[in-house]
Structure 1
């Protein structure tokens, strides 16, 4: 579990392509302070597991499903990524509940400077729009954000100066692909409401009631 508060920006030092999969090595410092093999680290919103590490890098394996469902395939040597360690049980939630399981890909379609903020309008895949609501939460490349406008197939978010400085989202321009994770509570609510109830009249009858 993560909070969507980016701890540092890392740099890809190696991309090893495999059939439908990848192995990434990332240079950083802060998230390595207490790293262990098997730890979960959010890499631009994607929860990945540390397989090996050194004093200044860590390596993760990326499985085919992650390659298909996220924008990670676009990373190359020299790419920069948002990093966040998994939330400790005794820590404080400064953002919102973020699982690190990407729901789809968004594309930045517009941006505008407004005083000390930068607003970005992101086009989403149609199946994600049912989870979007005004003042709701969204994670974009692992950054916890509030939705300030909802269009037909877009959402608009606003970046405060701290987010602009501490994450990569402020640097991403029009046409950039970003990882999207919808609000976890919205997804659970939708699943509960749409799940077929097991204890129906027919079920009771079939089981002797």
Structure 2
């Protein structure tokens, strides 16, 4: 995990993007500001806590899930788990600032793990963990009542912002028409 790490590199800890400030044999440190502690579940970690670690994506790397920035949108709480065939269904209660981006078969990152939404309701959603995901991520060991960092898919956030900008500054009557484009050689 830490081979070729450099000071200043980004490493996500439970989905929270942190900057490496020092490193040694199998360890690294990062500064964590009050804002990060207030908006994530990192404040609940204790020495020996298991965490998901992920290096930042390099340009040209293969994408295996949705784009995750390490900027947590909210904290959720696990409110249910159930076995379904080989999978474990996990139900997460989430705040409005996350739920507005949740769609069926859409993506969500839970403690940095990119997952597909199985179903959702007004204030909760459900994901399904295959045995491999449950084994290699901290999500497989989480219990009812545990908190998780949530990051919604970035595409929904961009679409929302574009729609807001359109409302804030409506497009004025344009002088560009089909006739204008044709007269200037575009059609």
**Could you tell me the TM-score, scaled by structure 2's length?**
0.88
User: 1:27-72, CA deviations, whole angstroms, 9 ceiling, x for partnerless residues?
Assistant: xxxx211111000001000000000000111000101111111111
Aligned residues of 2:86 and 2:130 also touching (Cα < 8 A): yes
* Corresponding residue to 1:139 among 86, 92, 109: 109
Which consecutive segments of 4 or more residues in structure 1 shift more than 4 A?
A: 198-201
Task: Note the 1:70-149 alignment, pairs <5 A.
Answer: 70-149=40-119
The answer to whether residue 142 in structure 2 is matched with residue 184 in structure 1 is no
CA distance in 2, matches of 1:80, 1:86: 19
SS in structure 2 at match of 1:185: helix
Unaligned runs of 5+ in 2: 174-187
Task: Note the 1:144-155 alignment, pairs <5 A.
Answer: 144-155=114-125
Query: Between Structure 1 and Structure 2, how many residues are aligned?
Result: 171
Note the C-alpha offset of 1:127: 2.4
User: 1:163-196, CA deviations, whole angstroms, 9 ceiling, x for partnerless residues?
Assistant: 0111110110100000000000001100110122
Alignment partner, residue 197 of structure 1: 169
Alignment partner, residue 164 of structure 1: 134
CA distance in 2, matches of 1:100, 1:178: 13
SS in structure 2 at match of 1:65: helix
**Could you tell me the TM-score, scaled by structure 1's length?**
0.79
SS in structure 1 at match of 2:5: coil
The answer to whether residue 8 in structure 2 is matched with residue 38 in structure 1 is yes
Richer in strand (by share)? 1
SS in structure 1 at match of 2:140: helix
Note the C-alpha offset of 1:199: 5.8
CA distance in 1, matches of 2:98, 2:59: 29
CA distance in 2, matches of 1:200, 1:52: 53
- Give the greater-gyration-radius structure (CA): 2
SS in structure 1 at match of 2:156: helix
